[in-house]
Structures are given as structure tokens and as C-alpha cells.
A and B are shown apart, each in its own frame.
Chain A
Amino acid sequence: MAKAPTNKMRLRMLVLLLLFTIGVGGILVFRLFQLQLTEEGKENQRRAVDQQMSAITIPASRGQIMDTNGKTLAVSATVWNVIVDPSNVRDGEAEIISEGLSQILGVDKETIRKKCLKENSQHEFIKKRIEKPVYDQIINFITQYNINAIHMKEDTKRYYPYGSLASTVIGFVNSENIGGTGIESQYNKVLSGTPGMVVSAKTALNTDMPFRYQQMYEAQNGNSLVLTIDETIQHFLEKHLETAVMEHNIKNRAVGIVMDVNTGAILAMSTKPDFDPNNYLEITDPAAVERLNEVAIRTGGTDNDEYLEAKSNEQNLQWRNKAISDPYEPGSVFKIVTASAALDHGDVGLENYFDCYGSFEVAGEKIGCWKTAGHGNQSFGEAIKHSCNPAFIQIGQRLGGDAFFDYFEAFGLTEGTDIDLPGEAGNKGLYYEKDMLVGHPVELASCSFGQSNKVTPIQMITAVCAAVNGGNLVTPYVVKQVVDDSGSVVESHEPQVRRQVISQETSETMCELLEHVVSDSDGSGRNCYIAGYRIAGKTGTSQKLDQKPTEDGQVAQEEHILSFVGIAPADDPQIAVLVILDTPEISNVLGSTIAAPVVKYIMEDTLPYLGIEPKYTAEELENLDVTAPNIMGKSVEDAKALAAEKELTIKFVGSGDKVLKQVPTPSTPIPRDATIIAYTDNEVKPEMVEVPDVFGLGTSLVNQAITNAGLNLRLTGGKGYASVASRQSPAAGTQVEVGTVVTVELTATDVE
């Protein structure tokens, strides 16, 4: 009979039991606790979710940029990237794919074929950003040949329908769909929105799990922006600025700003030359292209560091919004600030007179006036009208360095304007602080007439607006509204007045005084005169004081910045236009008078567009052009009567009794003293003459040259003393019929 278990055996068994259950079992439960209920477990869970979840991003579409009237300035559209997955290319399919894609996309066939045959790859870019028609072609191709290896990945592309219009303001979007400069950069967040996501559970083979786990985060499309910029005004500004850049061979780009004086809304802003944001990497300025070519020739290619750096510099230059980024010496335009300050502070009045003998001595230093003969004894208003430096030195002295700086600061000239554009430079360290003016009469003197201190164009025009709008320093802005996807307004920009700088009364006086600058026949700004409009304005010329001598030690040719600010209408200021021409060629007879006409052209286009009607004075009405009457087919008698009605001279050529042809043609604007040539038969052909070159000639010589040629002369522009012809149309040398109207523009040259 087998023996029963002993107690020793039972004891050993009990020890084992405890070891198993309490010991090992306990350890395992503790491990489970560690792995499931502590941070370690949560971390593992997160990692597990990471590998199980696959997220697909849904791109958010970028908002539009519109001008103030809703015209689209920038819009995004869907484009596609064409990708070949070599791992999915079937045997012999590489040939079909490369042939087909090469035909559709214009990409080299051999390149595509190589990509198709690449090993260990699933992702080969063939072409980026193709548009809808090409996309459709590829879809057809894929369907026709039942190809699995071609994928098209959605992407977006930014389009700028108006090309380079306002490009330095709007900026561009880079290849990563991020705003690079301008509004695109400043408002990148608002415009780009938030991309959405679809998260779904996947097996390790990346197939969907049988149970549904899907979470969708909707894409939040970007908001659109409505600008204060008016496409039409912007177009006017750019057209005239571009012409000026070409005519005067401007070396350092030209700036133009059109601003609502009361709200600070920027109606137009441009720097020329600029760029095409559709093609923002391409250098558009021919001079810059020339400079780059030189570098390429010198360095023997276009892929060396020096060339690439030069190209990058040129790109940055053409993207740069000079209107807000480049401080300059404003010259006499700044006298508006000095004058307003002195008037507002009560140091001078309209009754005060100032002497000018061509120069003025300050602390033993002789400072000259631009008119070396001197302006003689002149009232405060005349001093402004003459833009007389000695007078302004005296005005500055009366104001004193202390108050001068206080006003300088109050006009916002020591800080950025806070415009909603990136890259506003401000002018830190570029102006004289109070302690550098008080007790320093020479510095105060040069500051008083706009030399020495540097400001940015946007600071200058904002200060001018404050001087004429009743004294309010406003914050300039370019974005009027933020509009969401559905078109409703999310955010509206309210005009902001930072502070009242001068009194309403001072401001009104300034408007009057500045109007005389333009309207008076001896006004320094009369080149901006437009019949029917009351324009206030101020010229500015500054010599670049920080000019460096050239390498061979000689002082370079004097470089100037010419500028003009115009305000209209002078009796109820609405808009201000500032034009700055940095480093033009002024060696010809026109000298430094070229900025005012540019402002005039802009105003001539803009004021009627804004619905501001011309109001002519009696004198203006008398000199107003008339239109040529329609005498075609009329009898000689009737034609005479029609001409007489407009007090025009008429000359008949031929022997017929009916007018068969007339020069100038009906409705052409013609001066009141014009002669109409009427042809009454077909026997006599109109006589052709060559338009003479009148550039730089005085008024009487112009008159003589044109009239002698048998042509009608129509004069425009700054009439008055010392005016010369600055532009003519048709151009010199053109063959025209006798009697054709030649329009000649006069520019006054006896001004600063």
C-alpha cells in the first residue's frame, strides 16, 4: 500500500504555493499596474494611437485680396502636382507613361522614363502646379491606358489678375503657400485659415479597420481682405510713376502714395519699378537685369555664389516697399511741419515778414537759399510759397529747438505710423533728439527747412495729412475689412485718430497758404496747377547729404531726391498725393521741377474719378479749351456759322461747296485761337508737315515754331513766368496734316 504524503512534503508545497500565488502573481499584477495605470501606460497608449491613426489633411483655401470695390487682386486656385509611383509602374508601362506625360506636360521624356524606373521609390515629382485643363488631359490619359502609377496631389496656386499692380503692397505667396511680403505676409494667418484633418484607424497594413473610427476636423477656410486700395487710382498712380521713372531715368526707384487725408485709408501706394507677384522671383527692372548680366559675365555663369547673392539682393530690392521702408530727407515738403508748428505755437503769424538776401548766417555759418538772388522781404505766406530757406531758418529760431522737437514728435515723426504692412522702418536714430537741437542753432536751422532729419514717406504724408485735415494725426491703413468665406464682414477697420497735433484753425490757415503755392503765378508749386481744381501743395528737393565719395576719392555727382505733396481740394481736403523720385537725372533744363507734374497727372485722373467736379473761375473759363465743331458734310456757309459760334477761325481749301474733310477732327479739344482747315473737294490732298521739336523752349518760341509749321498749338501745364516746354504730343518728327493740334506742356523752371 502506497504511503500517504508526509507533512514535510505538504510544507514544501505550501512554500511553493505562496511563492507562486503571492510572489510571482504579485509581481505580475504590479507589472500590470505599472504598464496600465501609470504615466508609462499613457505614453504607450499615445504611441499606439499614433501608429494606429492615420491623418489626412484637408487644405484650407486661402482668402482673396480685393480692392475697395471688390475687384479681385489676389485669388487662390486649385492646382495639381503630378507624381509617379515607380513601385506601381507595370512592366513596359514606363514607355507609355513617359511618352504620354512628356506630350501633355512638355517635360523631357527621358527624364520621366528614368523616374518611372527608379527603384525603391514611390514618389517622383514630374511637374508641380499644373492647372485644370492639363489636369483633365492627364485624367483622360490615365483612364485610357488604365495606369495606376500616376498620382495627382492637390495644391494651391496664388493668382494676381492685375499682375504687378500694387505688388509692393500686396506682396506674394511663396512656394510653401506662405505670404512672403506685403499684405500676404502681414495677414498670412487671416488669409490662410486652418487646415482640417480626417483621422481614421488603420491596420498595420494601412487598410481601414473593420469598425469605423473616423474623426473629422473641418478645414477653416481663410478669410478674405478688402483693401482701402482702389484699383483704378492705383492704376493712375502707377501709370504716371512709371512714365516718370522712364522719362527721368530714376536710379533709386520712385514712390507714390495716395491717401485719404481724413481717415488715413491708403487709396494707392506704389514703388516703381516693382515686380509681378505671379512670378515673384523674376527680376523685372531692365536696369537690374542689366546689372545681373554684368555679374554673370564677370563671374562666368549664373550658378556661382556671387551671382546668386546678387540675384537675391535684386529680388529683395524689387519686393521692398520703399514707401514704408526707406527713410529719406524730405527737404522743403517738411516746411509744412515747421510752418504749422510755428503758427500753432503762436510764434509767427500771417502778419510777420521775413527777409531773404540769398543766404542766412547762423552761428557764423552761412546757409544759402536755393534762389541765390534772394526773395527779399516776404510775408509768412510768401515764405511758404517761395519755399525760402532763410525765412524758415528764422521761423525755426522763433519756434525754438524745444517746441520744434515737441511738434516733430507730435506729428508722429519719431515713431512708426503703425500702418498694417510689414517692414515699416520708422526712423530711429535718423533724426535730431531734443538735446541735439536746443542750443545747437545750426542743426535747428537745417532741420527747419527739412534737411538733416530723415523720415519715411508714409510718416511724411501722414504728418502732411494732419497739417491739412484739421490737425488730426491718423493711423494709415490698407485693410478695410476682413470678410469670411460666406462674404459676411468679420472685422471692420475703423479710422483711428492718434491725437490732435495742431488746432483746426491752424490747419485751415495751412490749407490756404499751401493753395497759394500751387495757384499763384509765382508759386513754387504751380507745376501742379489743374484748371478747375483747388490744389494745395509743396515741393521738396533734398540733396543726399550722406552721399559717399566714389572709390577714386572724388565726390560723386550730386544726387537728389525730388518730391511733391499735393492736397485736394484745398478748401475741403480729401486726398493727399505724395510722389518721391529718388535720384533722377536732372542735368537738363527742367532741373528739379519734375515731381509736381507727376502729382498733377495723378490728380487730373483721380479727382474726376472720385466724383470731385471741377469748378472753373471766370478766368479759367475764358482760357478753357473748346471742342472742334462737326462741320463734315456741311455747306461752306453753315460751316462758317458753326465756327463763328465758337469764335474759331476757319480756312477753306478746295473749290467745292461742301466740307468733305476737316482738321482737327470733330470733338478734338482745341484752344480758342485754333484754326480749322476745311477741305471741300477731293482734288487737294491735305499737306503733311513734320512736328517740330520744342522741348525746353520758352512759351513764345514754342508758339512760333508750332504756328510756323501750320499747326494748332494747345498749351497745358504751369503757365506763368519762366516756363519751358517739357512734353509734347504728337512727338517731334511725326508727319501730321496741317492744322493738327499739337499739345505742349509747360513747366515752370524758376522754382525750387
Chain B
Amino acid sequence: MKKAKNKVKIKTGRIDVVFLVLVLSLLTVGLVMLFSASYAYAYYYYKDSFYFISKQLVFAVVGVTAMFVLAFFDYHHFQKLALPIMGVTVFLLVLVRILPTRVGDFHRWIRIGSFSVQPSEIAKFAVVVLFAQILSKNYSKIKTFKYGILPFVIILGLLSFLMLLQPHVSGVILIMLIGAVVMLVGGVDVKWFVFAGVGALILIGGALLIPGAFDYARSRLEFWFDPWSDPQGAGFQTIQSLYAIGSGGLLGVGIGNSRQKYLYLPEVQNDFVFAIVGEELGFIGATLIIVMFALLIWRGFVIAARAKDRFGMLLAVGLTAQVGIQAFLNIAVVTNTIPNTGISLPFFSYGGTSLMMLLGQMGIVLSVSRQSTLLKE
């Protein structure tokens, strides 16, 4: 009874409309661009121009529903769910490696009926929730080694190990970065980040200096610097992406008018949808989309800053940062600013698990916004 009474007392306000509008805007633009980018590919390979967009629309509807449900679901329930979610994640990561389902040489998906689930997607969410929980609980002991760094290293280490078995390097990079953002805001000593950064540089540098080892990574770097050294092979996708972006110019060729999507640019419906954005909407359109992502980060962080408690804040920061990191890494790849890694563009790229998870997580951020500190006044 007391508990119930307490619960009633929790002041809840309206969800953050700005954030909601930004999410729905990005989703709308993303769906339109996915359709534009994918219909030629879908037509030529699936004999159905709507092959991707029809599925993605279903995911979007489910996702938006999940978003609203979660927006009105008290996020504090995740404090208790944090560890079970991580447990399920680890189980799925082990399972995915054992199951025979593979795409190419990768064990990344678990098929359930006609849909497939990517455990790596769930891992990102699990990291944010568990880290937020640990950090908000141990904030006072954050300077100690035992509470301030060890748990995170163990969790990230375990997840990374399991994901490298798939293998899924880009997934590892993402959980590392997302985890780091939550840890940093959660108060973890800056020195650990410096150690980790320096350590990573030494490791990577050293690895690349060993002759004969890590040839795959080295050649990736080479094709990053000069995609034209192998225009028909390793450099092909990057070159086609740059052709698309270059063709856009200032104003773009107009929505629907991309030529590069006619089977020139591989993975046009996935990781490289932004190249078609650049071609069809030009510099102005592409910049606007970057700005929209930046606004989303800003608004997510504003929600975090106004969060009622540290758990809510870290949850909002982690989930928002995840979108920002993924979006910017994807655009960086498409513009050949960083070497090619498989990271999809939130709201734009085709993919059921990731879109539904994404929208659900946006719902949690909205949930945090409902319990703002501003309501105290």
C-alpha cells in the first residue's frame, strides 16, 4: 500500500515534445530515403520495389508503438531488469555462436520465424542499462578501482570476447564507445580513459607494425587512404559512394533521381543509404540531416541534464549517445572519413531488430523526460 501510495506521489509530466518531433522527423525522412534508395535494388533482386520499405514500415509501426508504451513505462523498472537483461544478452551471444545460422562467415543473427534478431543490438542496450544502474548506485565509490573501473572492464571484456567470436568488430567498437560515454558522464576517473586511449593506440600501432600479421586490417587502411588502388575490388564500395555523393553537388539530383542506386552502389539499403541522401538531396539536404542528428543528441542530453535522478540521466545519455555515435560513424564511413566498418544509420538503414530497438530506446528517453527535475518547481 505504502509503495502504491509512493508511486502515485511520483510527479509525472508530459513527454518532451521536441525530442519526440525530432525522432518522428528523422524516422519519416529515414523511411522516405530508404524507399528511394532501395527500390531499384529491391526491384532487380526481389522483383518487388517495395520489398524493403514494406517490411521496414511494419517494423516502424511496431517500433513507434513500443516507443509510446515505454515512454509511459516507469524507467526505474529497468534498475531491477538491468542484470537479467545482461544475462539474456550473454546467453543470446553464446547461442548465436552455437546456432548453425550464418550469413556469409558471420554468426550474427538468430532467426525467429521470418524475422531475425541481432544479439549485438540487444548488447548495446544491456550495456547502457547495466552501466547506468551500477554507476548511479556506486557514485560515491567511483574513485575506487573495485567500483570505479573493474565491473565495466569485466562486462565489456566478456561482451567483446563473445562478439569477436561472431566476429563483429564494429559491434565491439560501438559497445566500447557507448560504454565509455556512460562511464564518463557517470563519473569514472578520467585517467582510465587516458590509459585506455593510450593503450589502444599502442596495441593498434604495435599490431600494425608486426609484419605479416593483421594483413586484413592493414589492407583496409590502405583502401581507406586510396580506394582507387583497387577500384573493382576492395575500393569499389567506397568509390561508388563517393561518386554518389559527388553527383549530388549543392542541391542534389532530386529525390528519387539517384542513378548510383541502380545497382552501382552495394548495400544501398543498409550502411550506404546516406550516400544516396547525398546524391538526391545534395550538400544542403545531407547537412540538414547531420544537423537533425545533432539536435537529437542535444535534446537527449537536455533531457538527461534535467533527469530526476542519476540513473535516468545516465540512461538518457547512453541511449542518446548510442544514436549519435552510430549516425556519425556511419556518415564518416560513407564519406570515407574513416575506414569502412559495418555500422548502420539509425532511422535510415533497413533492419528490423535495430529499428524496433532504437525506437523502444527513444521511448525510454521520453520516459526519462516525463520525470524531469523541472517538475519540482
Residues of chain A within 8 A (CB-CB) of B264 are 48, 51-52, 203-204
Interface residues of B: mostly helix, strand, loop or mixed? helix
Q: For chain A, which range describes its interface: under 10, 10 to 19, 20 to 34, or 35 or more residues?
A: 35 or more
What is the distance, in angstroms, from B219's C-beta to the closest C-beta of chain A? 23
A29 to B283, CA, bound (A): 8
Provide the residues of chain B in CB contact with A201, threshold 8 Å. Answer: 259
- B86 to chain A minimum Cβ distance, whole angstroms, is 20
Q: Which residue of B lies closest to A3 (CB)?
A: B310
- Please tell me if the beta carbons of A36 and B278 are within 8 angstroms of each other in the complex: yes
Tell me if A35 and B335 are in contact (CB < 8 A).
yes
Chain A residues with Cβ below 8 Å from B286 are 32, 36
Whether the Cβ atoms of A37 and B249 lie closer than 8 Å is: yes
A684 interface contact, C-beta 8 A: no
Decide: A16 and B181 in contact? CB cutoff 8 A.
yes
Q: Nearest residue in B to A206 (C-beta to C-beta)?
A: B263
Q: Does B262 contact A (CB under 8 A)?
A: yes
Complex interface: chain B residues within 8 A of A42 (CB): 246
Give, as a whole number of angstroms, the nearest-CB distance from B128 to chain A: 14
Check if A287 is an interface residue, CB within 8 A of chain B. Answer: no
* Interface SS of A by simple majority: helix
The reply to whether A44 and B242 form a contact with Cβ atoms under 8 Å apart is yes
In the complex, how many angstroms separate the beta carbon of A701 from the nearest chain B beta carbon? 91
Chain B 153-196 interface 0/1 with A at a Cβ cutoff of 8 Å (1 = within)? 00000000000000000000000000001001111000000000
> Are A20's CB and B297's CB within 8 A?
yes
A505 at the interface (CB under 8 A from B): no
Binary interface encoding of chain A residues 1-32 relative to chain B, with 1 for a CB under 8 A from any of its CBs, else 0: 01111101110111011001100110111011
Cα(A25)–Cα(B291), bound, Å: 8
A52 to B261, CA, bound (A): 11
Q: How far is the CB of B123 from chain A (nearest CB, A)?
A: 21
Closest chain A residue to B49, Cβ basis: A210
Contacts of B304 in A (CB 8 A): 5, 13
Please tell me if A545 contacts chain B, counting CB pairs below 8 Å: no
- Residue numbers in B under 8 Å from A12 (CB-CB): 184-185, 187
Inter-subunit contact B246/A45 (CB<8 Å)? yes
Q: Is the CB–CB distance between A48 and B291 below 8 Å?
A: no
Does A605 interact with chain B (Cβ within 8 Å)?
Answer: no
CA gap between A31 and B278 in the complex, in Å: 12
B305 interface residue per 8 A CB criterion = yes
Q: Do residues B250 and A37 form an inter-chain contact, with CB atoms below 8 A?
A: yes
Contact partner, B298, options A21, A24, A52, A205, Cβ 8 Å: A21
Instruction: Report whether B246 and A31 are in contact in the complex, using a CB–CB cutoff of 8 Å.
Output: no
Q: How far is the CB of B236 from chain A (nearest CB, A)?
A: 11
Q: Out of A21, A36, A52, name the residue touching B259 (CB < 8 Å).
A: A52
A32 touches B278 (CB 8 A): yes
CB of B266 to closest CB in A, whole Å: 9
Give A172 Cβ to nearest chain B Cβ, in Å: 43
From B245, B248, B262, B337, contact of A203 by CB (8 A): B262
Give A526-565 interface residues, CB cut-off 8 Å to B: none
- Asked if A8 and B187 sit within 8 Å, CB to CB, the answer is yes
| Contact assessment for A31 and B294 in the assembled complex, using a CB-CB cutoff below 8 Å | no
Is B335 a contact of A28 with CB atoms below 8 Å?
Answer: yes
Which residues of chain A in 24-82 are interfacial with respect to chain B, using CB atoms and an 8 Å cutoff? 24-25, 27-29, 31-33, 35-37, 40-45, 47-49, 51-52
Contact with A along B298-319 (1 / 0, CB 8 A): 1001001101111111000100
In B56-78, the 8 Å CB interface with A consists of 76
Contact A51-B243, Cβ < 8 Å, known A21-B298, A32-B283, A45-B249: yes
Contact partner of B307 among A5, A37, A202, A203, CB < 8 A?
Answer: A5
A644 at the interface (CB under 8 A from B): no
Are A17 and B298 in contact, with the CB atoms below 8 A? yes
Quick check: B262 and A21 within 8 Å, CB to CB?
Answer: no
How far is it, in angstroms, between the C-alpha of A49 and the C-alpha of B262 when the chains are bound? 13
In the docked arrangement, what's the CA distance between A153 and B313, Å?
73
Q: Which residue of A lies closest to B311 (CB)?
A: A2
Bound: A83/B232 CA distance, A? 28
Taking the nearest CB of chain A, how far is it from the CB of B134, in angstroms? 14
Residue B126 interfacial (CB < 8 Å): no
CB < 8 Å: which of A8, A16, A27, A37 contacts B283? A37
Whose C-beta in chain A lies nearest to the C-beta of B282?
A36
Instruction: Name A's B-contacting residues (CB within 8 A).
Output: 2-6, 8-10, 12-14, 16-17, 20-21, 24-25, 27-29, 31-33, 35-37, 40-45, 47-49, 51-52, 201-205, 209-211
9 pairs across A/B with beta carbons < 8 Å?
Answer: A2-B312, A6-B187, A12-B184, A13-B301, A17-B297, A21-B294, A49-B247, A51-B264, A202-B262
Interface residues of B (CB under 8 A from A): 40, 44, 76, 136, 139, 181, 184-187, 242-250, 257, 259-260, 262-264, 278, 282-283, 286-287, 290-291, 293-294, 297-298, 301, 304-305, 307-313, 317, 321, 324, 328, 331-332, 335-337, 373
